[in-house]
Amino acid sequence: MARGSGLKVLDFYRKIPEDFQKQTAVGASLSICAGLFMLILFFVELWAFLATTTDTSVILDTNSDTQLRINFNITMMDLACDFVSVDVYDVLGTNTQNMTKNIEKWQLDENGVKRIFQGRNKEVKEISHDEHHPDIETLHKNGVHAIAIGEDGSFEDFLESHKFSFVNFYAPWCIWCQRLEPTWEAFAERLESLEGTDQELQVDVAKVHCVA
């Protein structure tokens, strides 16, 4: 007991004797008020945490002249450097054509290895598009030759029923698809004309409307 009494001297959290404790009505009232106040604070904070608010503000963008760096590496084996240009469009309607800053062009050999540094062209040569076939209306006068997948069956059914085929995935609003359409139809007509001859190829030509 003496040893235990000696350790009590080191107690930093000493208890108040019960003889000095007295319960009063004022103390009980303060305790009830404090409990209610803490309960109200708890529900107020909980409501603020669960509630959602929408804050709408309009801020003027002061960084309109700042440019975003975009890294790209494109290889075009059959296109001369003089015909290559980079045009930039953004959602604000800004249109910058023939970008040359920080853009390098290299002439490649047949293996894709860099040979001659072409620098940055100041002017881009115009590319002429020769019309090799008549318009699509003229080609359709004697029928449509390219099979339209999606009208008579699914794409998977077409692949299962045709061993070899060429398929053109197109969109009517695409300018490049519009330019390819006469060539594609003439290609289908040419293969169809070979049927029944010794030059017949067991290949079908089809097209898929990508936005239908």
Cα dihedral 171→173→177→179 (10° resolution): 160
Domain boundaries, the chain: 81-121+135-209
**What are the tens digits of pLDDT across the range 4-36?**
566 777 777 777 777 667 778 888 888 899 999
Q: Which amino acid would we find at residue 37?
A: F
pLDDT for residue 40 = 95
Radius of gyration of the chain (CA): 40
Classify the C-alpha dihedral 59-63-64-68 as positive or negative.
negative
| Nearest-angstrom CA–CA distance, 193 and 212 | 29
Residues marked as catalytic: 174
| Nearest-angstrom CA–CA distance, 178 and 136 | 9
Enumerate residue ranges in the chain where pLDDT < 70. 1-6, 19-20, 61, 63-66, 118-143, 151-153, 196-201, 212
pLDDT for residue 56 = 86
pLDDT for residue 4 = 59
Percentage of residues of the chain with pLDDT beyond 70 = 76
Which stretches within the chain are classed as H helix?
Answer: 2-7, 25-50, 136-139, 155-161, 175-193
pLDDT for residue 126 = 60
| Nearest-angstrom CA–CA distance, 130 and 182 | 12
pTM above 0.85, yes or no: no
pLDDT for residue 37 = 95
> Which residues, 6+ apart, have CB-to-CB distance to 41 below 8 Å?
none
Q: Are 120 and 105 in contact (CB under 8 A)?
A: yes
| Nearest-angstrom CA–CA distance, 86 and 98 | 5
CATH classification for the domain delimited by 81-121+135-209, as one of 1.10.3470, 3.30.420, 3.40.30, 3.40.50: 3.40.30
**What are the tens digits of pLDDT across the range 126-147?**
655 555 556 666 666 666 777 7
